Amino acid sequence: MARTKFDQLPNELVLNILGYLTSLDAWFAFHNLNTRLNNSLQNSSMKIDLSLCRRFQCDFTYRYILPRIQNPFAIRFCPRIMDESTYQFFIELKSNNVEYKLQVLTLTHITEQSMNIIAQHLNRLVNLRSLTIMHDHEEFYGKFINTFMNTNMPRLVYLTLGYTERSSSLYVYEGNLDRLRSTIPNIQNFILKVPISFNTFHRLLNVLPQLVSIEVHLTERSINEIKKNSYNRDFARNLQKLVMTINGIIRFKIIEQLLRALPHLHTFWLSTFICDNSYGTEYQDGKVWEGLIRKYLRNLIDFRLNVGLESTQSISPADIMQPFRSSFWIKEKQWCFVADRPENDVDTIELYSLPPPVNSKIIFRPNVQWVSNSSNPNFQSARMLGLLPTLDRSASRTARNRRYTNVTTLHTASVNNSNHDYDVSIVFDYVDLTKVRNCIISVSEFIESLSVMINLTSLTIRCYDGNIEYFKKISSPIYTLKKLFLSKSMHCYYYNRNDMKIITHLFPNLEYIELRISEFESLPILMNGLPHLVYAIIYNEPEVIDEEHLKQWLHKKEPIMKFMWSVDDKKLDIWFDE
């Protein structure tokens, strides 16, 4: 048989081509075609993503990929895809003798049922160096945080723990922290995406002095006085990067005292929102920050802020910006800042650096005045935007334009004033909507702009009231959309069969969907109309949909449509096989 042009490519190019595919797709496409491709697959970077895949893809991975792994590998898995699959996942790792080769493990959407299974098997992953675990809900009072922080993982270097949804309660307590000395003795990079008190954070730094990088979310709580002698010479002696988000009010002097004890810090990012201007004005004071950095943070090379503070009549954005115009900021450090007053519900003055902290949302309203300490601020560095409606169309072009050309995540706020609305033509002057990949919509009028978002992959709609005319304004189907979250709150709209026909037409390539339905007939329309659907979470209305009738229908359709399912009085989970 004549060799194809692909066969004639050198190994380096073949590996480069495989790099453009996911590991699962590459193996599925090229496995067992010939010996050379098999060797190339085994030598390629192995990052297996099972977080949103069909059951046959999991089976293919267990049968063909795991037995042939020769080098350290990474894997991403979603335990929410039926709890029994979580047990099988770890059994397959063991039976294929690859537990000791697994170095990077990411677990998303874990449930209370899968939590214990995971904790029992983590101890066997003796060479695990990076672990990410994200819980599905915040309802379990941090049980999973305490469970995994007390699991022995002696070689772990990177650890991320958090909740997939925004959480508001305290979950980590000081009494459980001392065990970390022995359970994760080599941890260097820690991301804790759950609210903790400042005292808990301070204790964490004492318990883990080897930390090089840490990201925390601090919340308001009565703070016991931290004695100065607790910040001794050995306190966090290796810490070089600190990323901090503050929800609530923590007095600046508490943060200042901490930073004084971190002379080796080279990266510091801070995001906070303070709705009471009697606290925290220092967070927006360039003179205070300059003095602190000059004296105590001489190694700092990456300083980012995103601070929203309740405004006062006597202070304007220009007043906030004035201290940041000194030679220290402009010439010595060359750090750029922007300030404006977007007239949001709390009426804050927003101060943020460019670039802002990663994953920090910039609050932005078109056509409002803004100031900067730079003549040419780099708005292209912003990736996440909280978009407020336009104030007044007649004044829409009066402000000096800011162009956010690289925003990939867009949040829209609700409209509470008749003079405020979303004029998409005006938004275009400020935001390149073609770059947006993740959009969260809280006002129905903005739905029509989805047609422009040609790279959109994830959409959350929190505001739909049943007026289907908003969806009819979308000019053509959005083929790029993979994940859709509709009406997640308890008081949102329940979709009927007519809505389902429009949803399946507009978003034909969905792989994941969450929504509420008002009638049983909506379900078969959804399942038959989305051929690429992998996982669905359906919240039903118990008064309308009889649970026993639903179970009978699922049992009947299961062997025909090939899916697994679980149902309770609140929701239906469906995992499709083909």
Residue-level pLDDT at 224:
57
What is the assigned CATH class of domain 1-45?
Answer: mainly alpha
Interatomic CA distance for residues 504 and 514, integer angstroms: 13
If pLDDT is split at 50, 70 and 90, which confidence band does 34 have? confident
Q: Give the tens place of pLDDT for each residue, 410-455.
A: 998 865 655 566 777 788 888 999 999 999 998 888 888 898 999 9
Residues 6+ apart with CB under 8 A from 224: 199
Residue 393 pLDDT exceeds 60: no
Phi, psi (rounded to 5 degrees) for 204 = -60, -40
DSSP 104-142: EEEEEEE-HHHHHHHHHHHTT-TT--EEEEEES-STTTT
Query: Which of 72-86, 241-255, 387-401, 558-572 has maximum average pLDDT?
Result: 241-255
Q: Give the tens place of pLDDT for each residue, 98-144.
A: 999 999 999 988 877 788 888 888 989 999 999 999 887 655 556 77
Q: Which residues are bridge partners to 107 per DSSP?
A: 77, 133
Residue 381 pLDDT exceeds 90: yes
DSSP 539-550: EE-TTTS-HHHH
> What letter would DSSP give residue 80?
T
Q: Report the first-to-last Cα separation within the chain, whole angstroms.
A: 34
Phi, psi (rounded to 5 degrees) for 7 = -65, -25
Tally of CA atoms within 13 A in the half-sphere of 485 that contains its CB: 13
Quote the tokens at residue 193: 């995406």
Residue 398 pLDDT exceeds 50: no
Query: Which of 18-27, 73-82, 191-200 has maximum average pLDDT?
Result: 191-200
Residue-level pLDDT at 394:
45
Amino acid at 1: M
Residue-level pLDDT at 200:
87
> Which of the residue ranges 194-198, 256-260, 327-331 would you say has the lowest mean pLDDT?
194-198
Q: Give the tens place of pLDDT for each residue, 310-368.
A: 888 788 999 999 999 999 999 999 999 999 998 887 788 999 999 999 999 999 988 88
Mean pLDDT (the chain) is 85
> Which of the residue ranges 58-62, 115-119, 396-400, 566-570 would you say has the lowest mean pLDDT?
396-400
Average pLDDT over residues 230-251: 88
Cis ω on the peptide bond leading into residue 355 (within 30° of 0)? yes
pTM: 0.90
> Which of the residue ranges 87-96, 272-281, 313-322 would you say has the lowest mean pLDDT?
272-281
Q: Which residues are bridge partners to 513 per DSSP?
A: 484, 536
